[in-house]
Amino acid sequence: MTNYFDDIVKNLAQAITYDSSQAPAADGMPFGEGAAKCLDFYLSLAEFLGFETHNYDNYVGEVVWGSGKDFAVLAHIDVVPAGSGWTHEPFGGEIDEDNKKIWGRGAMDDKGPAMTVLYAMYALKEEGFVPRRTIKLILGCNEEAGWACIDHYNKVAKMPEEGISPDADFPVIYAEKGIMQARFAFAVPDAPFTGLKGGSRANMVCDYCEVRAPRDDRAIAKLNLIDGLNLKEENGKIVSRGKSAHGSTPEKGVNAIRAILDYLGLQHIRTALFDECMGLKGLEDETGKLTLSPDIIEQSGGTIYVTCDIRYPATIGRERIVAILDAQGVPYETKHEQAPLYNDRNGKLIQTLLGVYNEVTGAKAQPIAIGGGTYARALKCGAAFGPEEAGEESTIHQPDEYITFEKIEKCFKIYKLALKKLCG
């Protein structure tokens, strides 16, 4: 690892400096200039390291090595917006030698793992390893905002049937919940407030919400007693500040929308969204409980629109979710969907990856299920594999995202061994 660690750190820090969150399309850059430049950086580095590369119209890129049956490593180099609350520059790529961390948006999700896999491939190549499969490190540019990158790849190239996505948790994920992002319309005629808005992405817990409404100091003081909330009057607006988190784990954040709904006396909306989960509360299976995160709110005339990120248990069918939502009587439209992923936890892929993790770490872990949605769903037989581990502080989709030097070293060993075992 000594021969590669410094290069991983240096190049990851550089990759973080590209703001690759989705931006308006430009000429030849479907997701904006930042994503295109970041993709070019990764592919140029891979070429320098001696790999074959392809850039598919700045939607998605590919690093290719070996021959034989394809094996995919599906990663992404786009990121969610920085959001607020940072104490480090979100796109500074700061290398913190004292705390042995690299700070910045994408450090863990997913630029760090993508860079580590690239160098794991390079290390194997330099050691003389000859893969018996064609390893394809596929780098998407739209994972956080719709998967148009994967749709484009399927049009211009052939997706491998088997592979991993280093974009979730260790030890290995055998199942992922279903995803539905729905926009609900609540009628609020003659509302005594205007300009209600908050949230930036459907898969990020809303950390800022504002509304133009009469000031009520007693209500503000009462709501601020709730842990994590920060409600105040600013420039004629009532502003709520919370804490962002991934939409699949809303309990790790503090939703700024909740306090505004309470302040405005919109208890029926607050109850439906936060307490009853639009009638879906209580649904659960071995992959976990259903979660509903109201992440974007906007007002238009006498209607309040709320976009919610719903993660439903993998063995509960979409039809049941739709039936329950339809019965609530609140108009809605589905903005984005992904079917659940459910693998045989005792199958070869899952057990091989589990064995690699346990061998490197000395753990005796078992496969897990998550609420997040990864590129593993794009494969006939795919599994999410790292980088987070139970008990760690999670900063994915949150302020001050970072990756530790220790994490880089551990992931390098794990991904290198996994590629060797699965492609040797």
Residues 409-423 have pLDDT tens digits of 999 999 999 999 999
Range of weakest confidence among 29-33, 224-228, 291-295: 224-228
- Indicate whether 85 pLDDT > 70: yes
Kindly state the tokens that stand for 78: 């786009």
pLDDT for 372 equals: 78
pLDDT for 221 equals: 87
- Indicate whether 219 pLDDT > 90: no
Walk me through the domains of the chain, giving residue ranges and CATH numbers.
Answer: 2-177+341-423 (3.40.630.10), 179-338 (3.30.70.360)
Q: What integer is the mean pLDDT of 100-126? A: 98
At 160-201, the pLDDT tens digits run: 999 999 999 999 999 999 999 999 999 999 999 999 999 988
The set of residues, in sequence order, having a beta carbon less than 8 Å from that of 245 and lying 6+ positions away, is 204, 205, 251, 252, 253, 394, 397, 398
Q: Helical H runs in 182-302?
A: 217-223, 256-263, 267-270
CA–CA distance, 210 with 183 (Å, rounded to integer): 19
- pTM listed for this prediction: 0.80
At 299-324, the pLDDT tens digits run: 999 999 999 999 999 999 999 999 99
Our CA angle for 334, 340, 344, nearest 5°, is 175
Nearest to 205 by CA among 257, 163, 154, 240: 257
Q: What integer is the mean pLDDT of 104-119? A: 98
At 232-250, the pLDDT tens digits run: 999 999 999 999 998 999 9
Q: Are 299 and 191 in contact (CB under 8 A)?
A: yes
E-only strand ranges, 214-302: 230-234, 237-241, 284-285, 288-289, 291-300
At 374-423, the pLDDT tens digits run: 999 999 999 999 999 999 999 998 899 999 999 999 999 999 999 999 99
> What band does 145 get if pLDDT is binned at 50, 70 and 90?
confident
Kindly state the tokens that stand for 410: 């551990």
Cβ burial 355-373 (10 Å sphere, 16+ → b, else e): ebbbebeeeeeebbbbbbb
> What band does 292 get if pLDDT is binned at 50, 70 and 90?
very high
pLDDT for 370 equals: 87
> Comparing 200 with 280, which gets the higher pLDDT?
280
pLDDT for 92 equals: 98
